[in-house]
């Protein structure tokens, strides 16, 4: 068998695994024809970088390799799912390294949310786990918000080094690199050749970017197993992942009331006077207030139908985990459901959160409106 290589990155072409380097849907017969793998083709023709992913087991190796290269590290988190993407195992390894924390997807938060306050909140989150970062930025890769500010910091901290982008799958690493390429590399100069990092075994890729020939390096994203997305089939992704600015909806909730987030999560007020609950979820999800006494009936008769997602295919396998949370203190608190969204409660209260099993739920000080 003739082994063919991609002329962009030099990797051996393969047709088996889309997420691995060298992938091409089919390899042409003509042995003299120059071929790009799908990744290089997209990068060269559309300035677009597809994603690469890692399992929990292999991710430690990814971070170890990145650290050993002594570059500038951009740790990317999803602002809409901060707690679910600010992973202790990653943070622990990056302590004492040159790190810029970048919170992406700012465009999803309501326009009224204040960037300075968000940065203060992110800083407090880092301090809480003794994680010292060199800078914090809030950006939107999709809308191109604050990319110039980020680039200024990168230029200031880089000192002739490569820049490594690390973080969970779906936080927007590829989107951010694509956005930087589109913004800062002139269209005429679009023959970008990418390559695996020399001397590494991880499936990371170099994108020459800086005038000193240093690169932006995209690394495999960690799959966060406790994100709700990973409990569902791809047919539900479009409904769950918000694609535009979230319009919060506020409900006055009395004890014996529940809020359904489609059939994915149910928040029931157990104790507390009238509580104002502001819901931040994708506008494609049904947010429905009802009496808690109707919960079982709704789940039994409408899951996969009115309560969709889960879809009719997913519904038979759905199981819920129940957790009671006590929200205390004078500040507003958020109930965060990893990968789905959050609810801001204006008063102390006790709630029961039922959510699809293996999905993380957290309480935090509210990021909007405190």
What is the binding site for ligand GDP (CB under 6 A)? 51, 104-105, 107-108, 140-142, 169-175, 221, 241, 243
Nearer to ligand GDP, 151 or 315 (CB): 151
Nearer to ligand GDP, 224 or 258 (CB): 224
Query: Please, which residues have CB within 8 angstroms of residue 348's CB and are 6 or more apart in sequence?
Result: 272, 326, 327, 328, 329
Q: Closest distance between ligand GDP and the C-beta of residue 31, in Å?
A: 34
Nearer to ligand GDP, 142 or 278 (CB): 142
- For residue 244, give Cα distances in angstroms to 82, 110, 239: 17, 10, 12
The first and second tokens of residue 283, run together, are: 């506008």
Q: Closest distance between ligand GDP and the C-beta of residue 41, in Å?
A: 17
Q: Closest distance between ligand GDP and the C-beta of residue 140, in Å?
A: 4
CA distance 109 to 148: 20
Q: Closest distance between ligand GDP and the C-beta of residue 237, in Å?
A: 8
Nearer to ligand GDP, 104 or 257 (CB): 104
Query: Please, which residues have CB within 8 angstroms of residue 55's CB and are 6 or more apart in sequence?
Result: 223
Nearer to ligand GDP, 84 or 221 (CB): 221
Strand order in the sheet with 195-196: 135-138, 99-104, 72-78, 163-167, 215-218, 205-208, 195-196
What's the distance, Cα to Cα, between the start and end of the chain in Å?
Answer: 64
Q: Closest distance between ligand GDP and the C-beta of residue 316, in Å?
A: 27
Name the one residue in this structure whose structure tokens are 């290589």.
5
Residue nearest to ligand GDP (CB): 172
């Amino acid at each position: 068998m003739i082994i063919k290589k991609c002329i962009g990155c030099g990797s051996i072409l393969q047709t088996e695994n889309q997420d691995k380097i060298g992938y091409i849907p089919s390899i042409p017969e003509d042995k003299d024809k120059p071929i790009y793998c799908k990744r290089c083709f997209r990068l060269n023709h559309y300035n677009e970088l597809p994603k690469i992913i890692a399992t929990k087991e292999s991710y430690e190796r990814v971070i170890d390799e990145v650290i050993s290269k002594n570059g500038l590290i951009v740790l990317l988190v999803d602002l809409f799912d901060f707690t679910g993407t600010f992973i202790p195992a990653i943070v622990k390894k990056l302590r004492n390294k040159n790190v810029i924390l970048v919170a992406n997807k700012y465009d999803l938060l309501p326009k009224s949310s204040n960037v300075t306050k968000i940065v203060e909140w992110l800083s407090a989150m880092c301090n809480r786990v003794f994680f010292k970062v060199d800078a914090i930025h809030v950006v939107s890769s999709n809308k191109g918000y604050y990319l110039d500010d980020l680039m200024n910091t990168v230029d200031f901290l880089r000192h002739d080094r490569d820049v490594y982008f690390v973080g969970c799958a779906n936080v927007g690493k590829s989107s951010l690199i694509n956005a930087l390429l589109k913004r800062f590399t002139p269209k005429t100069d679009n023959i970008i050749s990418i390559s695996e990092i020399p001397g590494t075994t991880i499936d990371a890729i170099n994108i020459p970017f800086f005038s000193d020939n240093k690169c932006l390096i995209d690394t495999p994203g960690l799959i966060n197993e406790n994100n709700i997305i990973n409990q569902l089939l791809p047919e539900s992704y479009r409904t769950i992942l918000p694609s535009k600015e979230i319009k919060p909806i506020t409900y006055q909730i009395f004890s014996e009331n529940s809020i359904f987030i489609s059939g994915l999560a149910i928040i029931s007020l157990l104790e507390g006077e009238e509580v104002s609950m502001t819901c931040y979820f994708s506008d494609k999800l049904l947010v429905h207030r009802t009496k808690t006494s109707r919960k079982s009936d709704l789940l039994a008769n409408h899951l996969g139908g009115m309560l969709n997602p889960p879809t009719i295919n997913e519904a038979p396998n759905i199981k819920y985990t129940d957790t009671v949370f006590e929200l205390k203190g004078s500040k507003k608190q958020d109930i965060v459901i990893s990968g789905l969204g959050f609810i801001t409660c204006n008063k102390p209260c006790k709630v029961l959160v039922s959510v699809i099993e293996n999905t993380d739920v957290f309480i935090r000080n509210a990021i909007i409106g405190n």
